[in-house]
Amino acid sequence: MSEDDQPAPAPDTEAEWTIDEAITFLDPKLTRRQLADLITTLKIRSCGTRPRPVGRPALTYDVAEIMRLHSAIMPWLLPDKPLGMLPAPTLPSADLT
């Protein structure tokens, strides 16, 4: 098999962002502090590290997990929609008789 006949490498399906990368892509925006605090509070594990020009490597996080976190918390961070305007959560009804 020649070099030209080699199959193409499989695409990387696990994308990762640093916190600084994530805040540039998320819309509506979060501050770096907000995202870092959420990650710490919810104990979201990093996927790896990415080298920086100076200092320690930056931690990376799964893009899909960051996107789910962002969509879940955004109703509480939007300034134009007071929390009283959010739909109430629904719980399955239980027969207590």
pLDDT per residue over 13-64, tens digit each?
469 999 999 999 998 888 999 999 999 999 999 999 999 999 999 999 999 9
pLDDT at 21 (0 to 100): 94
Q: Model's pTM, two decimal places?
A: 0.65
Residue in the structure block whose two tokens are 């925006």: 29
Q: Residue 85 pLDDT more than 60?
A: no
Quick one: pLDDT band at residue 88, thresholds 50, 70, 90? low
Name 60's bridge partners.
48
Domain ranges, ordered by start, for the chain = 16-80
Query: Roughly what angle, to the nearest 10 degrees, separates helices 32-41 and 63-77?
Result: 110
Dist. CA 46–CA 70, nearest whole Å: 16
- pLDDT value for 11: 40
CA distance 48 to 61: 7
Please choose, from the candidates 12, 10, 17, the residue with its C-alpha nearest in 3D space to the C-alpha of residue 39: 17
